[in-house]
Structure 1
Amino acid sequence: MPKHHKKTATPGGSQRQLRVGELMRHAIADILAQGGVYDPVLQSNIVTVPEVRMSPDLKLATVYVMPLGGKNTEPVLKALAANKTFLRTEAAHRVNLKYAPDLRFRIDERFDEAERIDKLLRTPAVARDLKQDSDNEE
């Protein structure tokens, strides 16, 4: 009787994916913070790396980045893509993986989404509904 692998219910993947993603995040953030990439756009922008998501086979890393202040997102993405081979090689040496994962860069939009939800919660309609709910509980 063959054994079948069960899919994990862990958001973001298996424990191994999460651990390797966090190691990659630290490695890429360190490379960018130390100015290891000789690119004028990356050297003139502070780039944070809030998350790296790994594919199940660990061969693709989606790197979520955000330039400080949310400015210059397009030039930063282009500069990261242009220097992806160097970043891939350098991060793989630091993390010590069998295969260096291919890197894909995306802008982290969680901050924008949180701001949008915060604005929604402050609208008069939501305040009115919350007041009605608290009146009904009494």
Structure 2
Amino acid sequence: MESKRQKQVGKLIQKDLGEIFQRDFKSLFMGNFVTITDVKLSPDLSVGRVYLSFLKADNREDILQNIKENTKKIRGLFGQKAKNQLRIIPNFTFFIDDTAEYAQKIEQLFANIHIPPAEEDETSE
């Protein structure tokens, strides 16, 4: 269970990293649209798991690899932006958030289920 502080800092990181991605790292995304869907922090706020969503991207693994290769630069820019708000700048680990695709797959499975109508029982005496 995340504490209130973890949630607050997670939202700050999500907002600031989103701005950094839009402003400084557009070239890493190869023209695709990347959003930060969630940030989970360790209890001591030193490690952040950043979940990314890619819209209309066929090469998600390549984009994720580019982001992972530039993690130090991303953390440095975030540190400059949040130096007055956080005592410890977390180390970031980036992951693909596939919950939207999973939900869509489940919806499709439910749509394809065929349930025959129930037969009425004839119990006439």
Q: TM-score of the superposition, structure 1-length normalised?
A: 0.75
The answer as to 2:64 corresponding to 1:77 is yes
Q: Secondary structure at the match of 1:124?
A: coil
CA contact (8 A) 2:50 2:94 kept: yes
Q: Secondary structure at the match of 2:52?
A: strand
Q: Rg bigger for which structure?
A: 2
TM-superposition CA deviations, 1:72-96 (whole Å, max 9, x none): 2111111111110111121223233
Q: How many Å separate the matches in 2 of 1:24 and 1:51?
A: 9
C-alpha RMSD of the superposition:
2.1
Query: How far apart are residue 120 of structure 1 and its match?
Result: 2.0
The code of the aligned residue for 1:104 comes to T
Tell me which of 115, 118, 126 is aligned to 2:107. 118
What corresponds to 1:97 in structure 2? 86
Q: How many Å separate the matches in 2 of 1:77 and 1:122?
A: 32
Stretch deviating more after TM superposition (93-102 or 107-116)? 93-102
What corresponds to 1:61 in structure 2? 48
5+ residue gaps, structure 2, are 121-125
The code of the aligned residue for 1:58 comes to L
Q: Secondary structure at the match of 1:65?
A: strand
Query: How far apart are residue 71 of structure 1 and its match?
Result: 2.4
The code of the aligned residue for 1:72 comes to N
Matches within 5 A, 1:1-138: 10=1, 13-34=2-23, 36-37=24-25, 40-42=27-29, 44-95=31-82, 96-125=85-114, 128=115
CA contact (8 A) 1:64 1:108 kept: yes
Higher helix share: 1
Name the structure, 1 or 2, with higher relative contact order (CA <8 Å, separation 6+): 2
Identity of aligned residues (%): 26
Q: How many Å separate the matches in 1 of 2:89 and 2:78?
A: 8
Number of residue pairs the alignment of both structures matches: 117
